Amino acid sequence: IIVFVVVVGHRWTRQVESMAYFPSNAVILGEAIASEEKDMVLPSHDFSGQALIPSQHKYLEMYRRSIEDPAGFWSDIALSELYWKKKWGDEVYSENLHVNQGNIKIQWFKGGITNMCYNCLDRNIHAGLGNKIALYWESNEPGFDSHLTYSHLLHRVCQLANYLKSIGVRKGDAVVVYLPMLLELPISMLACARIGVLHSVVFAGFSSDSLAQRIVDCKPKVVITCNVVKRGPKTIHLKDIVDAALIESAKDGVSIDVCLTYDNQSTLKRESTKWQEGRDIWWQDVVPTYPTTCEVEWVDAEDPLFLLYTSGSTGRPKGVVHTTGGYMVYTATTFKYGFDYKESDVYWYWCTADCGWITGHSYVTYGPMLNGATVVVYEGAPNYPDSGRCWDIVDKYKVTIFYTAPTLYVTSYSRKSLRVLGSAGEPINPSAWRCPISDTWWQTETGGIMITPLPGAWPQKPGSATFPFFGVQPVIVDENGNEIDGECSGYLCVKGSWPGAFRTLYGDHERYETTYFRPFPGYYFTGDGCSRDKDGYYWLTGRVDDVINVSGHRIGTAEVESALVSHPQCAEAAVVGVEHEVKGQGIYAFVTIVEGVSYSEQLRKSLVLAVRNQIGAFAAPDKIHWAPALPKTRSGKIMRRILRKIAARQFDELGDTSTLAESGVVDQLIALAGS
Ligand code: WT7
């Protein structure tokens, strides 16, 4: 078995070293060969020998072609690996990435007619994979599981697609899916894709306010949810959250005809779920009564496949729109090469991401299904009932490719290290940990992996995402937008387009242009800082805007601030990210309270609660720092640079404070830092 671990979401840090204690029965093929160069890890011969891209030479050859001849490179893949009802027109792609030259426009395979669901299911079944397991589902409670073969999955998808059609959902409509990691989540995505309907999956950890906001923005015909879900020891009544959201969205003039509710717990009496007759329908009462075959809605490659909201540095969340053809080709290809996936039963794959985020879209549902892979879907929390759960799942399903956020290792560390000690007598040589770990950099907007060490091809440097994927041209620019060569650091941009690029923000093409293409004309701006070393390796250094990344969940500081100031006793708030041992980044809030109110633990709790209610528990601040006042410039702009230093306790590195309107503010904040 080749265990291959891929890291997503944030930088590979020293924490990942705990991977040294990989469970003993998951044999890591090929130990890292210590290189002469410090911190450089060569791929093992065993791994490289069997890898799709076995050498730097092969990578460079393919990469060069993908840049010199993108049309040829991508159309060869699109035609040989995927089904097209009709081939695209003369142009494989067209792009305008210059704001000064009219609207930003990216198109791939325009005129090509295809269908994502057909390519994920029917095509694989026709190729003989009908009886192969497509999805394994592992419940929150150990011991409960189920699975679906590719054929069974297609049946389920068709039944739901038929039901949606029967209630009048048509091509181009939107459906909001607010579900935990049940099989019904990928089923819902694929059913929408089958009939040309856009899905908008909302992570089930979002609060009713956030859900309402997204419903108002995309005006879905239907909301799909479930009554309850268990996450760890907690039972969450999802339907109640949806009810509250639907009351909110109705106030903004958006009402929903149907709320399709999956009955997720047989022990819970249906009567105990609040019900609005006429609007609310139990999934189990209707969906299974529909036929298990459903005609495919053939769509243009540039027809939208889904929208997914993500946080920006300002304002409302942005509805990132991905279209069908390019996204399909890109996720299929990045999954195949990025994970070194070969069609064979020994590759069982688990991605711990939730389908509520882009990682779940591209690497739980679409990428793996397009490759005919067997995927594990896990409902619950990684540390339930104890910190060994993840490795138990890896053992149980004989997972060979494991894609996860680096944060997970820490929680699963202690118990498993003991187990390995117990069974093998000693921990695996620490030099073994690095070899099969791959660090992937990408974003909701990019659709798929952009910078990653192709396993087997490159010597790795822990902490570096290494080199660009095929077709991707990262560039580093200075603050004037000039491209800088060689060893340097600056702002990470991308030159040219790639098939998986997002095409617009839902209903707001102008914001798409100003956010991503205006800062550095001619390039897509990622929002990340980056450096490149003398060997050409890329090192991501974090967001340069006011976006923070908590355990792989992207959160805009502006959203947290607006939740805080909605609290009647909060006068002003400024939120920054701080380094966090487990989560990558933590949320650190400076709060000024209204006059006459005194600070208390109770007030702190109710401020945190305001954020939980308005965004979701995952966005709750880790720290509230009472601030008699915030450091501002004379023009009233909050100096976040200083706040970040105070949050990081780097009091000696505050830099130039001469532009502060009131110089005493900083000292006050430092004095209160301990409390
Ligand atoms: C932001 C995108 C990874 C896709 C899922 C999250 C940060 C992502 C890395 C990495 C350092 C990373 C960036 C990026 N990020 N991967 N390997 N090393 N930082 O997608 O929610 O859109 O977040 O995550 O800051 O901009 P997302």
276 has a pLDDT exceeding 50: yes
Q: Tens digit of pLDDT for each residue in 58-72?
A: 999 999 999 999 999
Residue nearest to atom 14 of ligand 1 (CA): 443
| Residue 534 tokens, joined | 């003398």
Closest ligand 1 atom to 440 CA: 17
Residues 155-160 have a mean pLDDT of 98
Could you write out the DSSP letters of every residue in 52-104? SS-SHHHHHHHHHHHHH-HHHHHHHHHHHHS--SB---S-SEEEE--GGGSS-
CA 580 to chain centre: 19
pTM comes to 0.92
SS3 at position 490:
strand
CA distance 325 to 330: 9
584 lines ligand 1 (CB under 6 A): no
Query: Which residues are catalytic, by number?
Result: 545
The mean pLDDT of 349-358, rounded to a whole number, is 90
Q: What is the chain's Cα-based Rg?
A: 25
Whether the predicted pLDDT of 90 surpasses 90: yes
- Ligand 1 pocket check for 668: Cβ under 6 Å: no
- State the DSSP string of 396-443: HTT-SEEEE-THHHHHHHHHHHHHHHHHHSSPPPGGGSSTTEEEEB--
Query: Quick one: which of 324, 372, 373 has its CA closest to 84?
Result: 324
Write 481-486 long-range contacts (CB < 8 A, 24+).
481/519, 481/520, 481/521, 481/522, 481/523, 486/532, 486/534
Residue 125: predicted pLDDT: 98
Beta bridge partners of 549: 554
Q: What pLDDT score was predicted for residue 50?
A: 83
Residue with tokens 């880790």: 622
Contact 549 CB / ligand 1 (< 6 Å): yes
Structural tokens at position 399: 């997972």
430: pLDDT strictly greater than 60: no
Q: How far is the CA of 329 from the centre of ligand 1 (A)?
A: 21
What share of the chain in percent tops pLDDT 70? Answer: 88
Give the C-alpha separation, 60 to 10, whole Å: 26
179-190: b or e for each residue (b if 16 or more CB lie within 10 Å)? bbbbbbbbbbbb
Taking alpha carbons only, the member of 114, 152, 102 closest to residue 132 is 152
The whole-number pLDDT of residue 657 equals 86
CB distance 441 to ligand 1 below 6 Å: yes
Give the pLDDT confidence of 28-54 residue by residue, as tens digits.
Answer: 322 333 333 456 667 777 778 888 999
Angle at CA of residue 564, ends 558 and 565, nearest 5°: 90
Q: Residue 163: exposed, middle, or buried by beta-carbon count in 10 A (0-12, 13-18, 19+)?
A: buried
Cβ-in-10-Å burial (0-12, 13-18, 19+) of 36 comes to exposed
User: Model confidence over 115-143: pLDDT tens digits?
Assistant: 999 999 999 999 999 999 999 999 999 99
Mean predicted confidence (pLDDT) in 632-644? 92
Distinct helix (H) and strand (E) counts, the chain: 20, 33
pLDDT band of residue 424 (cuts 50, 70, 90) is very low
The token pair at 70 is 């993108």
Copy the structure tokens of residue 664: 């005493």
List C-alpha distances in Å: 137 to 1, 182, 400: 21, 7, 16
Ligand 1 center to residue 402 CA distance, Å? 18
Alpha carbons 571 and 564: distance in angstroms, whole number: 9
Q: Is the CB of 465 under 6 A from ligand 1?
A: yes
Confidence of residue 583 (pLDDT cuts 50, 70, 90): confident
DSSP-derived letter for residue 238 is: H
Looking at residue 504, what is its pLDDT? 98
Q: What is the mean pLDDT of the chain?
A: 87
Q: How confident is the model at residue 197 (pLDDT cuts 50, 70, 90)?
A: very high
pLDDT (mean) for 531-540 = 93
Q: How does pLDDT run across 371-390, given as a tens digit for each residue?
A: 999 999 999 888 899 877 88
CA–CA dist 489, 380 (Å, integer) = 40
Share of the chain above pLDDT 90, in %: 70
Other Cβ atoms less than 10 A from the Cβ of 479: the count is 10
Length of the chain: 675
Distance 527 CA to ligand 1 centre (A): 10
Tokens standing for 290? 């529909």
If one residue of 449, 549, 559 were mutated to test the ligand 1 pocket, choosing by the most ligand atoms within 8 A of its CB, it would be 549
In this prediction, residues 304-324 reach a mean pLDDT of 93
Atom 12 of ligand 1 has which residue's CA nearest to it? 10
pLDDT for 460 = 77
Ligand 1 centroid from CA 472, angstroms: 16
Please give the ipTM for the structure prediction: 0.99
For 116, 135, 222, 553, the CA distances from 193, given in Å and listed in that order, are: 6, 18, 15, 25
Ligand 1 centroid distance, CA of 87 (Å): 34
Q: Label the pairing between strands 174-177 and 234-236.
A: unpaired
List Cα–Cα distances, 123 to 83, 160, 200, in angstroms: 7, 19, 25
Going by C-beta distance under 8 Å and a sequence separation of 6 or more, which residues neighbour residue 416? 21, 22, 23, 387, 388, 391
Residues paired with 235 in a beta bridge:
230
Each residue of 459-503: pLDDT tens digit?
877 778 889 999 999 999 999 999 999 999 999 999 999 999 999
